[in-house]
Amino acid sequence: MTPFTQQVVAMISSIPEGRVMTYGQIAAHAGSPRAARQVVRILHSMSRKERLPWHRVVNAKGQLSIPDEESRMMQETELVSEGVEFQLDGSIDLKVFGHDPGPDLLHDLTSIKDEDE
């Protein structure tokens, strides 16, 4: 697993119940601000194996991005069960429900990167 992938997995794993992060936000905190699509690929390929809370990751507008209707409904149901509220337009207010990992996790992620170099 590459250091970036390790950092993305750690970042997603750290999202607390009732909070969300965006693909771009995760990519930026993992060290590659322009790698949001890579975060999507990692999430898609590793969610089950790593038991990631995939439902807590949304797009930059606070919307669910999964094209499959059944999976999108599952994501919405999971988020609502955790207390996340959807606005009338179907988006999530990132100012209210967004998660900022803070300096402690960022320090831990930097340590992962440093160990692998």
CA atoms within 13 A on the CB side of 44: 11
Residue boundaries of the structural domains of the chain: 3-116
Give, for all 117 residues of the chain, the pLDDT tens digit: 889 999 999 999 999 999 999 999 999 999 899 999 999 999 999 999 999 999 999 999 999 998 899 999 999 999 999 999 999 999 999 999 999 987 665 555 555 444 544
pLDDT confidence of residue 1: 82
Helix (H) or strand (E) holding 57: strand 57-58
Helix (H) or strand (E) holding 80: helix 69-81
pLDDT confidence of residue 109: 53
| Of the candidates 14, 10, 1, the residue with the CA atom closest to the CA atom of residue 100 | 14
Q: 3-116 maps to which CATH number?
A: 1.10.10.10
pLDDT confidence of residue 102: 76
Burial of 113 (0-12, 13-18, 19+ CB in 10 A): middle
Residues 57-71 as b or e (16 or more Cβ within 10 Å = b): bbbeebebebeeeee
pTM, rounded to two decimals: 0.85
